[in-house]
Amino acid sequence: MLFTYLLLAIGALKLLTATAKAIVGEVPRDRVEQFARLHSLPITAGNGNQVIVYRATTRRWRTSGFAAGIAIQVAIRGPHFLDAGWVFVGWFVGAAVAELRVAHLDRGPHASASLTPRRLADYLPRAGRFAVPGTMGLCVLTTGYCVADHHAHPSGDLTSVAAWAALGLGVGLVALTAQRLVLRRPQPMAEPDQLAADDAIRSRSMHVLAAAGMVLAGTCIGSQLEAADILHHDRIADIFNTMVGFGLPIAGWILAYRPSPARREGSTPSAPPTAPSAPEPA
Amino acid sequence: MIVELDETSPVPPYEQIRAQVAAMIGSGALPPGTRLPPIRQLAGDLGLAVNTVARAYRELESAGLVASRVRTGTVVAPRTSQELDTRTAADTRRLLTEAVRSFTATTRRLGIADHDALAAIAAELSGGEAAG
């Protein structure tokens, strides 16, 4: 018993040390290099600090969320019932909050802006754009399936199914809202290398939010099936749950760490969708 | 394509945006069908209130230079060749007036006498260096 408590104390101490280091410590050089590699971004004297500040802000908030996820669970349920899912929830909330805290480029003495509209498609591939809405859709479909199949599994708890569905949809909405905030973060005109870094930062944020939102909402799907008591009784549901349980984290990891060149800020606005239309009759 | 604000100008920010976008449309730099950024994006980038940019867009829309659509946002409106001719001339006149007003406001602020200001313009137009 004493040994268990000793291990827990050491674990808590290590967690506290790692959290403190992430909050106030320096960003390792390899992290900046990894970021530059993922986005094919040349790090210059002008944009180096920009990337370091971004990495420091996101690391600080994500780690704080992660640690809070553990601390809250320990406080509520005790140290023996640590659920990785809720720890991930804490990390995700920290990641979303970090996006609100990331500083935008300085406007300088003369405010200027590009007339090029920023779109989600500029920063995320098609699969990434549909990751969160698709998982939210799956969450709704699973709810429908659980309700329809309730007569075959009357021991299932439909209230819990609905609660997990609400949580899954809520997580999806948080991810989509955070993506929207990232897209709207001001981008005044600046030096090309700073604009490239700003675009790379947006792209990184979008990828992480899409991947984390998808995996977290996907976790709720598994919990829905479990709450409905369908798992281990329905072969199709078991296969589906396995696919969601393993497939989504793998897809999320691929999406989050997929190399994505920074969006090149054009000096011209987006081209018309079609050729200029013929003159309209007066 | 860049919009720039002069915070020291007596011309209000919405008018500066309107004039610059109108000039780009008039010169053909922004061809018909080109999407303009959402109001919130431009306002955020320039550090202005949303209403300021919204007013600039409204003025452009009432002048028939842009059209707002639900799905595509604000796009440069198509124009007939006749409209193009008249509008270009009107834009040119308006831009000239705005430039003269801006110049006058600057010379007044700097306390430059009218004859010195006119001499500077004459020197610039004749290809010489503008008087400091």
Residue A66 corresponds to which tokens in the numbers above?
């992660």
Asked whether the predicted pLDDT for residue B128 surpasses 70, the reply is no
Alpha-carbon gap, residue B34 to B27, rounded angstroms: 14
Residue A186 burial by Cβ neighbours in a 10 Å radius (0-12, 13-18, 19+): buried
Query: In the 3-class helix/strand/coil scheme, how is A161-226 assigned residue by residue?
Result: HHHHHHHHHHHHHHHHHHHHHHHHCCCECCCHHHHHHHHHHHHHHHHHHHHHHHHHHHHHHHHHHH
State whether B32 and A280 contact (CB < 8 Å).
Answer: no
Per-residue pLDDT at A266: 46
Is B95 in CB contact (< 8 Å) with chain A?
Answer: no
Q: What is the separation, in whole angstroms, between the first and last Cα of chain B? A: 30
**Chain B: residue nearest A277 by CA?**
B78
**Chain B: residue nearest A109 by CA?**
B7
Class of domain B13-125: mainly alpha
State whether A111 and B35 contact (CB < 8 Å).
Answer: no
Query: Which of B6, B36, B78 minimises the CB distance to A279?
Result: B78
Place of tokens 């006749």: B82
Q: For B68-113, what is each residue's pLDDT tens digit? A: 887 788 999 987 665 555 656 776 777 677 777 767 777 776 778 8
Is B6 in CB contact (< 8 Å) with chain A?
Answer: yes
Alpha-carbon gap, residue A82 to A59, rounded angstroms: 22
**Chain B: residue nearest A279 by CA?**
B80
In the Cβ-directed half-sphere of A245, how many Cα atoms lie within 13 Å?
13
Domain ranges of chain B: 13-125
**Chain A: residue nearest B6 by CA?**
A110
Is B73 in CB contact (< 8 Å) with chain A?
Answer: yes
In the Cβ-directed half-sphere of A167, how many Cα atoms lie within 13 Å?
20
Per-residue pLDDT at A144: 92
Alpha-carbon gap, residue A240 to A134, rounded angstroms: 15
Question: Residue-wise pLDDT tens for chain A (282 aa)?
Answer: 677 778 878 877 887 887 777 777 788 888 888 888 888 888 888 888 889 989 888 888 888 888 888 888 888 877 677 777 778 888 888 888 887 788 777 777 778 888 889 988 889 988 889 999 999 999 999 999 888 888 877 888 889 999 999 999 999 999 999 999 899 888 888 888 888 899 999 998 899 889 889 988 988 888 888 888 887 777 777 787 788 778 888 888 888 888 877 664 443 334 444 433 334 333
Q: Chain A: give the shortest CA distance to residue B42, in Å.
A: 7
State whether B46 and A111 contact (CB < 8 Å).
Answer: yes
Alpha-carbon gap, residue A234 to B77, rounded angstroms: 58
Residues β-bridged to residue B35: B75
Chain B interface mutation, best of A110, A115, A118, highest count of B Cβ atoms under 10 Å = A115
**Residue B3 DSSP SS3:** strand
Chain B residues whose beta carbon lies within 8 Å of the beta carbon of residue A184: 40-41, 44
In the Cβ-directed half-sphere of A189, how many Cα atoms lie within 13 Å?
15
**Chain B: residue nearest A186 by CA?**
B45
Flag whether the ipTM exceeds 0.85.
no
Chain A interface mutation, best of B5, B30, B34, highest count of A Cβ atoms under 10 Å = B34
Q: Which of residues 100-129 of A touch B (CB under 8 A)?
A: 107, 109-118
Nearest Cα residue to A204 out of A187, A225, A224, A179? A179
State whether A269 and B1 contact (CB < 8 Å).
Answer: yes
